[in-house]
Amino acid sequence: MQDDERFMKKALDLASKGQGETSPNPMVGAVIVKDGKIVGQGYHVSAGKAHAEVNAIDDAGIHAEKATLYVTLEPCNHHGRTPPCTEKILKSGIQRLVVAMEDPNPDVKGGGMAYLADRGIMVSSGVLRAEAKSQNEAFIKFVMKKQPFVTLKCAATLDGQIATRTGDAKWVTGETARHYVHCLRHWTDAILVGIGTVRKDNPHLTTRLQNKVGKNPVRIILDTNLSISEEADIVQSTSEAETWVISGRHSASTQAKRDRLKKAGVRLMEAPLRHGRVDLIQLMRLLGREHITSLLIEGGGDIIASAVSAGIVDKVIFFYAPKLLGGNDGVPICRGKGPELMHDAWPVSGIKVRRFDDDIMITGYLAGQAVQNT
């Protein structure tokens, strides 16, 4: 069992190389072991390309015969963009299969392992299952609920403010923490902010990574009244990533502006309103239909509060900088009314702490959303 965990850890490390590139598919890594030595390895590089098992078997060649295959997710037994991996495994002569987690898709769960077991391959599962589920938490939620996995990110001073009274927020955290935020953007399908952030900061919402080209997420702007400036950088951007502006229904009087925004490459989408604002619960369903599997919210205090109160947030990532504004006139992390009693506060579980130079990052899951323990 100790060797199984060691080789599965290697498979998980391989899977992580595909982070940010495989959506809407999961990250998957595979290792082939014979006589205690790795003879083949591979990972799912990007959606539409060969699966991890195929790459590992091709890497092992004839050495795959009578070997053990370690894979972080149950091999597929159905046709998609690529043929089923189970057939490749059978033809390779693999003798034993070790799986970290079953496929969470209710339509195919267990099918790949059962198919191989019925044909004489020794199959076991559950090795480092928690780590595998954590690695693919966005994929798991999407295939089970058809909605994106939502991560809420913010950066604040130790006294809980994300900007000064003038709105200045450059920069709350240091360069190392900000670089990690760009990694978060690379790893996610879409990023969401409110129109207030666009007016104040005029952001590009693109990904800038050191030593590699990052993937730019879809930029989503909540703009109930379609007030976005046609000169905003996010409208004029030449990025390959799309810009979606989400608003309520509009009258014919706004048609000229809508036409100009569309001509500039902006995708305009209407969503139901609740209390005069975009209904975030309904928006998540809409984004799911658009195959957005993961969403990063980087909004201001209003958006953060709205997202939390709507119950759409799965995971929080809070950066705290060793700074104090020392007043109560800055911009708080959340704006608006909260609960009257501490008993009604949103519990955060699965807490992890990480340091970026002098900045502290705290991550956790809201309302029991952590998938690694389910």
Proportion of the chain in helix, strand, coil states, percent, rounded to 5:
30, 25, 45
Q: How far does the chain reach from its first CA to its final CA, in angstroms?
A: 22
Q: Residue 365: which residues within 8 A CB-CB, separation 6 or more? A: 314, 315, 316, 348, 349, 350
Would you tell me how many other CB atoms lie within 10 Å of the CB of residue 96?
Answer: 16
Contact 293, 320 (CB under 8 A): no
Report residue 245: phi and psi, to 5°: -110, 120
Residue type at position 25: N
Q: Residue 120: which residues within 8 A CB-CB, separation 6 or more? A: none
Residue-wise over 324-337: b if at least 16 C-beta within 10 A, else e?
Answer: ebeeeebbbbbeee
The CA–CA distances, whole Å, from 230 to 36, 260, 289, 348 equal: 62, 8, 27, 39
Contact 317, 348 (CB under 8 A): no
H-run or E-run covering 286: helix 280-289
Tell me the CB-side half-sphere exposure of residue 50, using CA atoms within 13 A.
13
Among residues 79, 91, 78, 82, the alpha carbon closest in space to that of 52 is found at 82
Q: 5, 53, 87, 242: which one is catalytic?
A: 53
Known catalytic residue: 175? no
Among residues 235, 277, 241, the alpha carbon closest in space to that of 260 is found at 235
Which residues are identified as catalytic?
A: 53
